[in-house]
Structure 1
Amino acid sequence: MTGKRLGPQDRREQIIVSAAKVFENKSYADVSMTELAKAAGVGRPLLNHYFGSKRDLYLDVVRRFVFIPELAVERLPRSASAEKRIGAVIDRWLDVAGRHRGLWMSTVMSDDLRRDPEMDQILHDADSVAAQRMMDALELHPGGEDAATVHAAIVAYGGLAKAASKQWLVTGLLEREQVHTLLVVSLLAIVRDVIPTLATDNGATTTSR
């Protein structure tokens, strides 16, 4: 059965969204292209036309899931304090992780995916973009050699965010609000105390009202 007539971009988007729901509840190995086509309401030939293979579609689903959109930062009120800005970004992270727990576990927290060079590159790029989004949210724009240092420090913080989220979603040892507090307070300390120590010049600036 085919769905309603959509333009190429809308159809592609529809397929990615429906595929994400399938991968949310099943492992990659247990999902077939026929099942993905049925979930999207399209024929198998059309699915192959847009994505070629199950792997291609899965990679697009992962890209959509792990990258923080620029719009998430643009919507932050510029008058807000650093703590509120961090809190808003962390809230979005936890919302996505909680709403898509299955997909989060099979992508962000999967060591197996890191053994796949293409998938590892996607996750590496996502970590880098997430760090840049947080720097933008904090209006943290270091100059010179400090730019790479500060970016690396925020990427390292991302590792803490993943580990803390695991303690909420997997072990249940932390509640969501506890994770939120841990991540906000930790990043504030990194921005206010650690980054100035790491910086080699006065280029690192942030809004910390």
Structure 2
Amino acid sequence: MSVESVRRRRLEPDARREQILSVAIRLFGAKPYAEVSTTDVARDAGVARGLVNHYFGTKKDLYLEVVRVMLTVPEVAYEQLDQGELPERADSIVGYFLDVVSRHSTSWLAAIGAGGMAGDADVDRVIAEAVDGAADGILRAVGMRESATPALRGMARSYVGLAIYTAQEWLQRGVLTRDQVHALLATTLVTMVERVFPQA
């Protein structure tokens, strides 16, 4: 069976959508927004361009979905977190985060940097929603989501910001090792939960 026939085999709608999204994540991670077209995505996914539009709408809609997927922690990740004491839970959530950003480093860095679309209201909204979701996930992971006040959510968002910039120091600048990043983020999270979050 040829590669082309494998690429064009009939897939269930959900599988086809995921295939297109996977290609878009790779392409938008490799090039700025302006240099990627839905024709490029369709060609690499082995589908007609109309199918890309059918599943995702416009190029911008597709890009927003790429950013959303790259910056959102899936529900299954929280279900698989270590349920031990706080240090173990902190290690678990930080380890998951670092696994994801290292596995998809180019695409994650492009998404967090808005891929040349910084300042676009829709992109900024999706990034802000992802940060809110990550902050909510942090509070859930440490058992504080149900009692979260606006101040506590603000503190959790601040931690997410630290995690993002620390990962960039590792992946983009190469000045920190993964072990250093893990130690910084896990220790900081434990300290915040024990000594800072109670003030909120």
Partner of 1:124: 128
Structure 1, gaps ≥5 residues long: 200-209
Partner of 1:84: 88
CA 1:109 to 1:52, structure 2 compared with 1: closer, same or farther past 3 Å? Answer: closer
- 1:72-91 Cα offsets, whole Å, 9 max, x none, are 0111232x121111111111
The alignment partner of 1:107 has SS state of helix
- 1:32-66 Cα offsets, whole Å, 9 max, x none, are 22211011110122222222322111111111111
In the TM superposition, residue 110 of structure 1 has moved relative to its aligned partner by 4.2
Partner of 1:46: 51
In the TM superposition, residue 122 of structure 1 has moved relative to its aligned partner by 0.6
CA 1:128 to 1:195, structure 2 compared with 1: closer, same or farther past 3 Å? Answer: same
Contact 2:33 2:117 in 1 (8 A): no
In the TM superposition, residue 98 of structure 1 has moved relative to its aligned partner by 1.5
In structure 2, give the amino acid aligned to 1:160: L
Residues 1:151 and 2:153 are matched in the alignment? yes
CA 1:110 to 1:35, structure 2 compared with 1: closer, same or farther past 3 Å? Answer: closer
Partner of 1:100: 104
Structure 2, gaps ≥5 residues long: none
Query: Matches of 1:51 and 1:112 in 2, distance apart?
Result: 20
In the TM superposition, residue 12 of structure 1 has moved relative to its aligned partner by 1.2
- 1:20-42 Cα offsets, whole Å, 9 max, x none, are 12222222211122211011110
Pairs aligned (count)? 195
Query: Matches of 2:32 and 2:145 in 1, distance apart?
Result: 40
Query: Matches of 1:19 and 1:141 in 2, distance apart?
Result: 33
The alignment partner of 1:139 has SS state of coil
Query: Matches of 2:94 and 2:76 in 1, distance apart?
Result: 15
Displaced runs of 4+ in structure 1, greater than 4 A?
none
In the TM superposition, residue 120 of structure 1 has moved relative to its aligned partner by 0.8
TM-score by length of 2: 0.89
Once the two structures are aligned, what percentage of the paired residues are identical?
A: 37
Residues 1:174 and 2:176 are matched in the alignment? yes
Residues 1:189 and 2:194 are matched in the alignment? no
Contact 1:68 1:130 in 2 (8 A): yes
